[in-house]
Amino acid sequence: MNRIVVTIGILLVCFVLPIHAQSGRQPGSQQPINTATPQPVSTTTPQRQNEREGVIVVDSDLVVLDARVLNIQTGRFVGGLKKEDFEVYEDGKKQEITHFSEDTPPLSVVFLIEMNGPATQGVFAKISTNIEQIFQHLRPDDQAAVMLVGADTRTAPGTVYFDIWLLHAFTRDKKLLANKETASALLGMREMPPILTRLPTKHQAIYEAELLLEKVPPSTNRRVIVTLTDDIPWFTRKRVSGNPFSGSGNKTIGKKDLSRRLFTAGTMLCALVTPDPVWTPRIKPLLDEGESHPITKAISFVKGYNYYENAEMGFYAEPTGGEIILATEEKAAAQLAELIDHLYVRYSFGYVSSNRKRDGKFRKLSLKVSSAVESREGGVTIATKAGYYPPPKNSKAKP
C-alpha cells in the first residue's frame, strides 16, 4: 500500500510520488532502505489538505495482489477471465476490485542457489549446460541477480557455518547472467570471496535476498525470489553445535519475522526443489520434534527464541503465492524455464480496503472465481498471497 502525495503547482502540473513504508532493521544485517509493494498507479479522493498553500496530501489504501488460476484437473492456466469473474475477500468481507489486468509488470528477481547437498549435483549440472537458454525466458525489462549460499568449509569439525556470495548484482543483461562464472558456480566452483561469512544458518540467505530486492529500483517491479535447493529442513535461529543457552539466535531472523517481511514487501518466493531421498525424510521429523519439545519451549522462554525453529521452502512459497516444482535431472533445465514462464501467467488485482484502520495487524485475503467459471472448468485452484500487513497509524506521508 502506498501513501501518495499530490503536489499541485501554480501551473496545475501534478506530480505523483509513491511513498514507501520503511522496513524495520533486523539484528545482524545492514539497514534496509524504504520498500513498497509493487502496484499500479492509482488515484484517490483527497483526505486532508496541508496548511501550506498548494499542497494536498492524499491517502491511498490500495491493496495489490496477483494470482495464478489453474484448472484443477489439467493443471493448466485458465486465461481470458474478466474482472467480473473474480471476488476478493479481506478477513471475510467482500471488497470492490478497482484495478484488474492479465498483464504483469516487469520482474526484479533474485536467483538464490543453495550449494550444499549431493542431491542437487545432477540437476545443477543439467541447468549449467543450458543456462543461457533458461535466462532468455526472462523478458527484456526484467532485472535479475544471482546469489549463492553454501557451507563454510573453513570451520572446525563439528561446527557448521554458511557463506553467501553475490555472483551477479541486478542486471538486465541476460548474457552476463548466463556467463561461465554462473555455469561454474552451478558445478560447485566459485573463486570470488563471499559477501557474508560464518552465518549460523543458511536460512539467513532468504533474508539477504529480500534485502537485496529492497535496494533496487523501480519499486513498481514485481519482486520474486527463485531458490534452487534440495530443501533439507534447516534451523532458522541456531547453529548445529554449541551450548543451547548461548547459540546465535539473536543474530538471525526467525521464520515468522521473515514471513512478515515478505508479506510487507510483496515479495513472492518460488523454488525448484531437488529432494534428498536420504536426509529429507530423516531430518524433518527430528527438527519438528525438537522445536515442539517441552524442554525446548522452556529454553525458548529464557532465550526469547526457539533454538530448534526450522522451516522449508513451502513455509514461504504457498503463503506468498509462489510455486514449488520438484526437479528431476532429465528435465531440470526445462523445469526452471517453466518456473520463470509461470511468473508472467498471472492476473493482477487492486482494491481499496474497506477496513480503514491502520493497526498493522495481519489481514487474511481470499480470492474466488464465479460459479460459472468453476462449472465450466470443472474446478479451479488459485495461487495467491495469503494476506498482508497494513501500515501502522503512525506512518506519515512525505511531500
Query: For 48-77, how does the pLDDT look when each residue is reduced to its tens digit (9 = 90+)?
Result: 333 334 443 334 578 999 999 999 999 999
217 plus 120 within the same structural domain: yes
Is residue 170 pLDDT above 90, yes or no?
yes
| Cell of residue 13, nine digits | 502540473
164 plus 85 within the same structural domain: no
In a domain, 217, yes or no: yes
359 plus 231 within the same structural domain: no
Question: What is the percent of the chain where pLDDT is above 70?
Answer: 79
Residue 61 confidence (pLDDT): 75
Mean pLDDT across the stretch 234-246? 63
d(CA 197, CA 220): 32
In a domain, 397, yes or no: no
- Tell me the pTM: 0.81
Under 8 Å CB-to-CB from 179, ≥6 apart: which residues? none
In a domain, 252, yes or no: yes
Is residue 351 pLDDT above 80, yes or no?
yes
Is residue 98 pLDDT above 50, yes or no?
yes
Is residue 172 pLDDT above 50, yes or no?
yes
Residue 355 confidence (pLDDT): 92
Residue 277 confidence (pLDDT): 85
Is residue 96 pLDDT above 80, yes or no?
yes
Task: Using CB atoms within 10 Å of the CB of residue 351, give its burial: 0 to 12 exposed, 13 to 18 middle, 19+ buried.
Answer: buried
| Cell of residue 209, nine digits | 535476498
**Pick from 311, 383, 339, 377: nearest CA to 85:** 377
Mean pLDDT across the stretch 282-303? 88
Q: Which domain holds residue 312?
A: 107-342
Mean pLDDT across the stretch 316-345? 96
Mean pLDDT across the stretch 287-301? 89
Local confidence band at 300 (pLDDT 50, 70, 90 cut-offs): confident
Task: Evaluate whether 258 touches 309 at the Cβ level (below 8 Å).
Answer: no
Residue 394 confidence (pLDDT): 62
367 plus 276 within the same structural domain: no
Mean of the per-residue pLDDT values of the chain: 81
CATH code of 126's domain: 3.40.50.410
Task: Evaluate whether 95 touches 350 at the Cβ level (below 8 Å).
Answer: no
In a domain, 356, yes or no: yes
Which is more confidently placed, 357 or 40? 357
Is residue 352 pLDDT above 60, yes or no?
yes
357 plus 322 within the same structural domain: no
Query: How many residues in total does the chain contain?
Result: 399
Mean pLDDT across the stretch 235-257? 69
Which is more confidently placed, 399 or 145? 145
Residue 157 confidence (pLDDT): 65
359 plus 308 within the same structural domain: no
Local confidence band at 250 (pLDDT 50, 70, 90 cut-offs): low
Which is more confidently placed, 156 or 162? 162
113 plus 92 within the same structural domain: no
332 plus 192 within the same structural domain: yes
Least confident of 108-112, 148-152, 153-157, 347-351: 153-157
In a domain, 395, yes or no: no
In a domain, 122, yes or no: yes
In a domain, 224, yes or no: yes
77 plus 195 within the same structural domain: no
267 plus 230 within the same structural domain: yes
200 plus 324 within the same structural domain: yes
**Pick from 265, 262, 273: nearest CA to 112:** 273
Local confidence band at 299 (pLDDT 50, 70, 90 cut-offs): confident
Give 77-89 pLDDT, tens digit per residue: 999 999 999 999 9
Q: How many angstroms separate the most distant Cα atoms in the chain? A: 71
24 plus 53 within the same structural domain: yes
Residue 346 confidence (pLDDT): 94
Structurally, the chain folds into a number of domains equal to: 2
